[in-house]
Structure 1
Amino acid sequence: MGERLKELRKYLGLSREDFAKKLGLKSRGKIENIELGRTVPDDDFLKLICTTYKVSYDWLVSGDGNMFMDDDGDAQAIVDSVMTGDNEFAKKILVKFAKLSEEHWKQLEEILTELESN
């Protein structure tokens, strides 16, 4: 995984420090330790990398598939990020949306269409 992280960082043209900063880290040490195989990141940190850089989780963890997510993978990463985050209101909203009936989805679509036209 360390080699794939390094490959990603190089592909993006980022130093370890810049890569780490965008993830909210204060120094490059954690990135360096992962790249050199000194540590294995936990799942939450891997998801943060995937969400931040729109990287495929499967590719990062196992090398399977493409480096970057397609649109469906991006949506899944966003849902995963919200559901594992601290924002309880956002979690409730996603759960409510998941339970909407087809009729309610149509109503929502009408509301959004109306808002876009104003």
Structure 2
Amino acid sequence: MEFKKLIGLKINYIRKSNKLSQEEFVEKLNIDINRGQLSRYESGENSPSVEFIAVVCTTFKISPYWLLDIDDIKLSNDEYELILKFKGLPTEAKCSIKLLIDLLIDKH
């Protein structure tokens, strides 16, 4: 897949998983970008700037390695979705899930 398209799909995924419209997403980033530019990033028509990537990663607590697809660990879309959902949980829920995972691993 073309690099611009891949980043665009991931940006779109981040926005939709946070239940934000393009306008809300742009507002939340608080940088000099408009909805049209975001649309061109999401469609893979244009590549986002380094500043945009840095702000998205910081704002949404996303690994730049994941966003730029340079992570050594290759995950499926389902695994990415689980990670993003996990990141959005409160600390107490994360602790409970970690305990459940440990229990499941110990059983196998």
TM-score range, shorter chain: 0.5 to 0.7
Question: Partner of 2:10 in structure 1?
Answer: 4
Q: Which of the two has higher C-alpha Rg?
A: 1
The 5 A counterparts of 1:43-58 are 43-58=50-65
User: Looking at both structures, which has the greater relative contact order when contacts are Cα pairs under 8 Å and sequence separation is at least 6?
Assistant: 2
Please, what is the CA RMSD of the aligned residues?
A: 2.2
> Deviation digits for residues 50-83 of structure 1, max 9, x if unmatched?
1111111111111745565x8xxxxxxxxxxxxx
26 and 40 in structure 1: CA distance in 2 versus 1, 3 angstrom threshold: closer
Give 2:48's aligned amino acid.
Answer: P
Aligned residues: 69
Runs of 4+ in 1 over 4 A off after TM superposition: 65-68
Report the TM-score, using the length of structure 1 for normalisation: 0.51
- State the shift of 1:36 in Å: 0.7
- Alpha-carbon deviation of 1:27? 2.9
Unaligned 5+ segments in structure 2 are 1-6, 74-79, 88-108
**Match among 62, 72, 76 for residue 69 of structure 2:** 62
Distance of aligned partners of 1:59 and 1:26 in 2 relative to their CA distance in 1, 3 Å threshold: closer
Aligned-residue sequence identity (percent) comes to 33
* SS of residue matched to 2:17: helix
Q: TM-score, normalized by length of structure 2? A: 0.55
